[in-house]
Amino acid sequence: MIKNFDDVQKLSQQNLDAGMRTITEWNKGWQTIAAEMGDYSKRSFEEGTQTIEKLTGARSIEQAMEIQADFAKRAYEDYMAQWSKIGNLYAEFAREAMKPVERAFSNGR
């Protein structure tokens, strides 16, 4: 229990420190996700550009359809893998951001 003013100040400082650590972890998480999305966008654009180049060089309708089907399959698989990775990143950064708060609550008891 709080015995004097010094205890109140100490508790306030601990809460402030926990809040700042949470914000720092939150920012790191968003930066990681933003970088990952930037990389994915770049890969997707490059893949699309390469596919267009292949399509312009196709010698038959069948070959063009095969190129398009391969692209669609790769794009779908990459998209699903990317969103799975992003989901894991969200979960991880939420866990990391909450650790300082959890520590503050466990130390306050």
pLDDT in tens, 23-63: 887 788 889 899 999 999 999 999 999 999 999 999 999 99
Give yes or no for a contact between 33 and 93, defined as CB atoms under 8 angstroms apart.
yes
DSSP classification of residue 57: T
The structure's pTM equals 0.69
Place of tokens 């699309």: 48
* Token pair of 18 as six digits: 């926990």
* Token pair of 24 as six digits: 């720092």
pLDDT in tens, 11-26: 677 777 777 877 887 7
